[in-house]
Amino acid sequence: MHDGQNLFDVVTSFLGEWEVDESFTSLMKQGYESTIVVGIDNGETARFNELSPPWDINDLGKRYITSPVGDKYSEFIIETVKPYIDEHYNTKPQREYTGIGGSSMGGINSLYMGLKYADVFDYGIIFSPAMHIYPDNTLDDFFGEFDFSTMKNLPRFYIFAGGATGGSEIGSAYDEACITKYVGIIKDKLTERGYPEESIGTLVDKKECHLESTWAKYFPTALKWLLDSRRILGDVNGDGILDVKDVSDIQKNFADIIILSSYKIDLADFNKDNSFDVKDATVIQLHLAGLE
């Protein structure tokens, strides 16, 4: 995730924190898998240049961006950061367990990286993408680089924006009222090109401003949507594969050897009869044997 200073601790932040650690702790208590979040600090005064893709900018953008190097920053994440984390921490390095996320310029870079490196990222969190600092044709030009009908992997995106200017300068890069429309614009331009609509979650709250407190409020909502839309029915051990190990865990639950969380019990109801019982383990076994 971008803007690492603002993710975990109000002491290190410059505008408040996202409460990322609190959000994941809450989700883990609900039975969701544990997650490693890598926060990458921005370069403060270099932030706009760091996070901006190599796109043309309009007159407003020239107030903030002088030399966009978002492509180099993205390469740094792909070639240096991710390999280091995968080597030194107990990660699941596969694409289906990897996401990218951020807000404002970080939201723009997450959209850019999600598509540019679709074989690396399964999902992207795009909060308050300040696309009004770029020419109107920018999204068309960028999306036109891809043929979604032939791409093997298409990331799932969750796009959010508020709608209130608040204390920001009217018309500035931080004016959320200028950003609201891009939730619909991004989704529409993607789906018009054949991007699956079910892979894009959206939300607008016009009462909210361009602030970390806003993104902290809706971060859990985005996470739940992304995690729930990825989940595989019956995959109670969370390894992304429905197999005999899941059957074993269900059986162990009924033998009181392990206790499945409510989230995993919901996944285990394979026959969708709204009842978690041994029949679910049987149906999964039949399914794996090609008999159901």
- 169-179 tens-digit pLDDT: 999 999 999 99
Those residues whose C-beta lies under 8 Å from the C-beta of residue 181, and which sit 6 or more positions away, are none
The percent of residues in the chain predicted with pLDDT above 70, rounded, is: 98
Return mean pLDDT, the chain.
Answer: 92
Show contacts of 188-193: CB within 8 Å, 24+ apart: 189/139, 189/140, 189/143, 190/143, 190/148, 190/157, 193/143, 193/144, 193/146, 193/148
pLDDT surpassing 90 at residue 280: no
Mean pLDDT of 222-226: 94
pLDDT of residue 84: 98
Residue 90 DSSP SS3 = coil
Dihedral-angle region of residue 60 (phi above 0 means left; psi in -120 to 50 means alpha; beta otherwise): alpha
Tokens for 232, please give them: 């595989």
Mean pLDDT of 28-41: 90
Mean pLDDT of 265-291: 81
Domain extents in the chain: 4-230, 244-288
Q: 162: part of which helix (H) or strand (E)? A: strand 156-162
Mean pLDDT of 237-262: 81
How many CB atoms are located within 10 Å of the residue 27 CB? 18
**pLDDT category of residue 292 using cuts at 50, 70 and 90:** low
Rounded (5°) CA angle 267-272-276: 60
**pLDDT category of residue 71 using cuts at 50, 70 and 90:** very high
pLDDT surpassing 90 at residue 70: yes
**pLDDT category of residue 231 using cuts at 50, 70 and 90:** low
Mean pLDDT of 230-250: 78
Of 93-102, 148-157, 245-254, 260-269, the poorest mean pLDDT is in 260-269
pLDDT surpassing 80 at residue 209: yes
CATH code of the domain made up of 4-230? 3.40.50.1820
Sign of CA dihedral 6, 7, 11, 12: negative
In one-letter notation, the amino acid at residue 290 is G
pLDDT of residue 265: 79
